[in-house]
Structure 1
């Protein structure tokens, strides 16, 4: 049974709909909460088979309020990459992934957008990324992809929304398992609220079923790409 380290930055944001897909495949996940009293970022990847970097609400990695544990998180992500272990970055977690992998991040304001993503080719994500699917983006800053990355899906303006680094690491600018209630709780814990938040929450509720359906295929491809159901060596 594989075990994932899931690095959480704010209490309200978690794996969401992804949890059921991992549990149904007997893939364990352990939440790490460095913001909680006594919480620390693991010093190394030892004991884990993959890393998931969640979003961080209003926090950024190059602008606004920076993630307090950013330094240790970058070092942990780099250790997973050195060991050739899969890393999945979501929201600003995708920025942490690109920064640790040799790319970086650009400043961008906190935003909340629901849009249709479009895959770049039929074979991406092991052939399991839907041709189009809703993407809910709630984050600050923007990932700058390293030269060896591949864009898997783009947004309505052509910006990367899903990308792959190496052969087993994936970044999702929008949370593929987002729940409207989860995003609402994240917003309530924030001092900075994007424009049209109420309207965008309505947009998210309207596509929640479509997101759940798309996630079924996305998780098949993600598990294939990361080899999370193969025996450990």
Structure 2
């Protein structure tokens, strides 16, 4: 049975809808919560078969309000890549994955964005990336994957939403398993929230079913190309 280590940066953001897909495939996962101050970032030999880096609310990576454990997580992501371990970055986690792979981040204000993604690579994730699907991003700063990255999907402005580096590193600037309650909890948990977020909550609720539907092929493809069930 495969096992993943999931680094959680706040109490609101977790794997969400992805949990059921992992459990249904008998893929174990354990949360590590360094934001509590009670546990450190794990060493490489404690990661297991792969590492998942989640979003981080208003924290970023471009210098304005950096994640407190950024340096440690960046080092761990690089170590995982060198060891050919699976690394999946979600939200701010995608920024860390991009940096670890030789890319960069662009400074951007904290924002929440709802839109429709378009597939960029018909063969990405073994061909399982939907041609179009709804997405919601929440966070500060933007991941810029390196030139050698394979772009799987883009937003309406052509910016990467999902990308892959090599065989084992993946970045999702949106949360594929998002639940509306995560956004609501982020607004309550932190003193800083995106401008106009209250007006966006109905939009996020309206695409919840579409997010659930899109996650089915996305997870199927991710499991297929990473060998998580082998």
Q: Please give the range of the TM-score, normalised by the shorter of the 2 chains.
A: over 0.9
Cα RMSD for the two superposed structures: 1.1
Q: Separation in 2 of the partners of 1:45 and 1:155?
A: 36
Q: Separation in 1 of the partners of 2:31 and 2:78?
A: 19
Deviations 1:136-172 (A, max 9, x none): 1001111121122011111011111111111222111
CA 1:47/1:93 → structure 2, altered by over 3 Å: closer, same or farther?
closer
Which residue is 1:67 aligned to?
A: 67
Which residue is 2:76 aligned to?
A: 76
Deviations 1:155-202 (A, max 9, x none): 011111111111222111110100001111012112222122012111
**Does the CA contact (< 8 Å) of 1:63 and 1:108 recur in 2?**
no
Query: Could you tell me how far 1:94 is from its partner in structure 2?
Result: 0.3
Query: Could you tell me how far 1:46 is from its partner in structure 2?
Result: 4.0
Q: How does 1:30-41 map to 2 (within 5 A)?
A: 30-41=30-41
> How many residues end up aligned between the 2 structures?
230
Q: Separation in 1 of the partners of 2:197 and 2:145?
A: 28
**Is 1:6 matched up with 2:6?**
yes
TM norm structure 2: 0.97
Deviations 1:24-73 (A, max 9, x none): 00000010111113211012244510111100000011133211111111
Which residue is 1:148 aligned to?
A: 148
**Is 1:106 matched up with 2:81?**
no
Q: Separation in 1 of the partners of 2:12 and 2:47?
A: 26
**Is 1:128 matched up with 2:128?**
yes
Q: Separation in 1 of the partners of 2:48 and 2:121?
A: 31
Which residue is 1:97 aligned to?
A: 97
Provide structure 2 residue ranges, at least 5 long, that are not aligned to the other structure: none
**Does the CA contact (< 8 Å) of 2:118 and 2:132 recur in 1?**
yes
**Is 1:205 matched up with 2:181?**
no
Which residue is 1:165 aligned to?
A: 165
Q: Please identify, of 176-185 and 40-49, the stretch whose mean Cα deviation from structure 2 is larger.
A: 40-49
Q: Separation in 2 of the partners of 1:121 and 1:147?
A: 15
**Structure 1 counterpart SS, 2:36:** coil
**Does the CA contact (< 8 Å) of 1:3 and 1:49 recur in 2?**
yes
Provide structure 1 residue ranges, at least 5 long, that are not aligned to the other structure: none
